[in-house]
Chain A
Amino acid sequence: SAVISQKPSRDICQRGTSLTIQCQVDSQVTMMFWYRQQPGQSLTLIATANQGSEATYESGFVIDKFPISRPNLTFSTLTVSNMSPEDSSIYLCSALTSGQVEQYFGPGTRLTVT
């Protein structure tokens, strides 16, 4: 298993600014993912964070808006750039460990854009 922490847990940001969310796993993992969960909705995969290379983005998400870093096997960041109220969501980090197929999730970052 893996224990995942995220920082910040919540934030209120102004339109046009950027926020970087950090995701830390307590052990080395093979894959890390970033999800968005809009109010009352299910989870939508933003991208797979690849260690040492550019993230793989899902349809509808672009690097300029959601730049992602993954410098090592236990850490990743997601930046929400040039924010608008439509970016108000919970952002969740998840990880997949070697030999397992289930994802472990962080507690999420609740973002409100005003």
Chain B
Amino acid sequence: AQSVTQLDSHVSVSEGTPVLLRCNYSSSYSPSLFWYVQHPNKGLQLLLKYTSAATLVKGINGFEAEFKKSETSFHLTKPSAHMSDAAEYFCVVSGWGGSYIPTFGRGTSLIVHP
């Protein structure tokens, strides 16, 4: 079994300040972890992925995430928010337990103020 918890439903930041979106997971398998972004009325775009290689993963648009097994966390960060970062962000855990099983977090809405 697996699950993912996004700890904040909304995060509000000012443009130019750091972004932190929190994600905790549980998995019975060796997990793969992902962050996807969904802009209003758009499909989902992959930001970054962790697949048991380097624990610090760099993604697109300046985002990165660190896999911490001891804390079962995969938090998403960005040093400086841009207005275009305003969107919904989903943390996803997947693994193989006989079949491929993806599980989505509830989503975190990132609000960026000018």
CB neighbours (8 Å) of B42 from chain A are 107
Contacting pair A42 B32 (CB below 8 A) = no
Distance of A110 from chain B, by nearest CB (Å):
8
| 0 or 1 for each of A51-88: is its CB under 8 Å from B? (1 = yes) | 00000100000000000000000000000000000000
Q: Interface size class for chain A? A: 20 to 34
A110 to B22 Cα, complex, angstroms: 29
Distance of A22 from chain B, by nearest CB (Å):
15
Instruction: Kindly count the residue-residue contacts between A and B in the assembled complex, taking CB atoms under 8 Å apart.
Output: 42
The count of residues in chain B whose C-beta lies closer than 8 Å to any C-beta of chain A is: 19
A108 to B45 Cα, complex, angstroms: 12
Given contacts A101-B51, A102-B34, contact A45 B44 (CB under 8 A): no
Interface of B is mostly: strand
Contacting pair B32 A101 (CB below 8 A) = yes
B56 contacts A by Cβ under 8 Å: no
CB neighbours (8 Å) of A92 from chain B are 43-44
Q: Which of A102, A105, A106 has the most CB of B within 10 A?
A: A102
A108 to B46 Cα, complex, angstroms: 15
Contacting pair B100 A31 (CB below 8 A) = yes
| 0 or 1 for each of B79-104: is its CB under 8 Å from A? (1 = yes) | 00000000000100010000110101
CB neighbours (8 Å) of A107 from chain B are 42-43
A43 contacts B by Cβ under 8 Å: yes
Q: Assuming A42-B104, A103-B102, what are 9 further A-B pairs, CB within 8 angstroms? A: A42-B106, A48-B99, A101-B94, A102-B34, A102-B49, A105-B43, A105-B45, A107-B42, A107-B43
Chain B residues with a Cβ under 8 A of chain A: 32, 34, 36, 42-46, 49, 51, 90, 94, 99-100, 102, 104-107
